[in-house]
Structure 1
């Protein structure tokens, strides 16, 4: 499988389109959680206008009064076409997909298909905090396999976790984040093939959150888990929500590998009642017609990764930052700052910059913060200036 290289963007950088004053008119969580003097670089919302094809599709639906219940397979068809264009992968069969309300609720439903109460779910901390919350609320047992010091999968640690997870003959699942949130790591084909081999050896079922897959850096290949040898028994969750800033328009797809089709067929029919019909329309339009906008965004994110690297090297060299290969998130190691309080608290209280505390991401998160890069270069520069002020 060969990924299709990103093309030169034909649209202006959407990260430069909106002023801070304009953004503060928004009423979503990012802009209403903190006072107006705080720069919010935390929750996964992007500071961008929506792609024009998405706006047009939703506006047309509103004009038509097309706000009923979702139907049809257009979303799955466009995801399959997008995967073929963007990743060179033609492995999404519409008959092996199911509409779910969003990625995390889809994860819950997939885990219910392959595990029962009290069974183990393996995670790779530091990892997206809702993994802990949703799995815990399902009455599943958390089993950690922390990332290595290089922020990549540690296969030895993962094997040990699989061994613990299936002890006593219980079923177990592995909830894989790919690309990884918060580190931005893109797992290689070799790494994913090794994961599939371990999962087969220990009888662990793999459920993979691939919501950040459209957001890879230039010249970085995303490898769908279901595309690797042995990935046929996997279950994936995909969505346009992160790539096109559509979190408020709920819709996602569960995708089964060929050997997991029977599992997906057991998904309760009522799960498909949860997604928004308008959300499905928006996500479908993004996948079908939003490629040029996505390319422009990806180029802007590459610029912001380079900018953040330069700003930290000049002004806060004690912070360790390895630019991620995907997502619009930056994982910052602030331990060398030797702060009296948690770094996120210091940056908020003294610098008026809101970041995510690394503690919430589990083992390996202490002393770290997660910063949202999906903003203008000017806001990013001001955020670092405020962070400097907070620690001097």
Structure 2
């Protein structure tokens, strides 16, 4: 069997380490949800090998049979050290953290602490679809405060939505996506301080999903919500999952006043997950730097390719995440036609439909940039080929392979 190469800090581009044939050997969702003739550029998995320090830590644990229950504060200590070095934030207190199974299950537990069934949870659409699914499943009501046309938090809309959320005297929370998925918007310190002030004025508790925090564009700096004036009453969920491609190794950290967090919540994380995340944060920063540089290149490449081959698509390269939010409304697909469906049926390229992202999502698609430049080029080629001669993609007949 061919040995898969590991990527170290000396690797100039981790996205070039694996061929398409090797990637198609994977059995995870990205590579198994669609037939082999479909190019998958959708779900948040990266086309990279694991960072060598993570592989070494997992291999050592398996050799020891160290596959029991998680214990200790190593993960929190590693995150605190990372936060101090990368974000200049010394305020992550290990004693205010708790290990949770993953970020979204941690969000659920944080929302349980600050709201009750029937209360409202405010979100900024277009936003990560599980926000809607998890909140509604726990019998809370979603209220939308859409992003502005600049894809940034609209503070006036947020103010009004907070007012409505607490108008009947009920508790409410704001589920903040920071950095924002799918737009890649990186909230500034001033914006986050303004959010904290509005939340304090209305008595709304802020729960921040900060899973994409380590993934920022060149020159852009992430600001932890808990670090801004007034943010101290917030609750944060952080993880190494997205930045080091560890979604299948479950572990995350809740950061807040967690005295009321049920003890059994800490039973769900994977011990191997905790080991992997700790190794990534402590020893995987060289690998991360190579990844971030490659993502900067991919953002520029996508912008150039779209300008050349699909100029009607609007793309504003984000300052964070490895996701691209593409406005396809000017392609003229017409009402009721989802561009993701057109690109899949006629181009055999899988993108995320914008519709599940809530208000502002229709007519958009989300493209995963965490792949090789060659596959980005092929993806755009397929998207362009999906359009018919008049550029609308209206012919939806047949099996979509024509």
TM-score scaled by structure 2?
0.93
Matched, 1:77 2:77: yes
What does residue 3 of structure 1 align with? none
Other structure's SS at 2:211 match: coil
Superposition deviation, residue 10 in structure 1: 4.2
Q: CA RMSD in A?
A: 0.7
Counterpart-to-counterpart distance in 2, 1:339 and 1:300: 33
What stretches of structure 1 move > 4 A for 4+ residues in a row?
none
What does residue 66 of structure 1 align with? 66
What does residue 298 of structure 2 align with? 304
TM-score scaled by structure 1?
0.96
Q: How many residues align?
A: 378
CA offsets, 1:76-102, max 9 Å, x none? 000000000100101100000001000
Counterpart-to-counterpart distance in 2, 1:335 and 1:10: 41
Counterpart-to-counterpart distance in 1, 2:298 and 2:333: 26
Alignment gaps of 5+ in structure 1: 1-8
CA offsets, 1:208-230, max 9 Å, x none? 00000000001001000000000
- Could you tell me whether the CA contact under 8 Å between 1:11 and 1:292 is conserved in 2? no
What does residue 27 of structure 2 align with? 27
Counterpart-to-counterpart distance in 2, 1:223 and 1:109: 23
Q: Give runs of aligned pairs for residues 151-230 of structure 1, distance below 5 A.
A: 151-230=151-230
- Could you tell me whether the CA contact under 8 Å between 1:207 and 1:234 is conserved in 2? yes
Superposition deviation, residue 195 in structure 1: 0.2
Superposition deviation, residue 350 in structure 1: 0.3
What does residue 127 of structure 2 align with? 127
What does residue 338 of structure 1 align with? 332
- Per residue, is there more helix in 1 or in 2? 1
Counterpart-to-counterpart distance in 2, 1:200 and 1:104: 24
Counterpart-to-counterpart distance in 1, 2:47 and 2:142: 34
CA offsets, 1:314-364, max 9 Å, x none? 000000000010000000000000115210000000000000000010000
Q: Give runs of aligned pairs for residues 1-392 of structure 1, distance below 5 A.
A: 10-256=10-256, 261=257, 264-340=258-334, 341-392=337-388
Alignment gaps of 5+ in structure 2: 1-8, 389-402
CA offsets, 1:284-316, max 9 Å, x none? 000000000000000000000000000000000
Counterpart-to-counterpart distance in 2, 1:117 and 1:254: 21
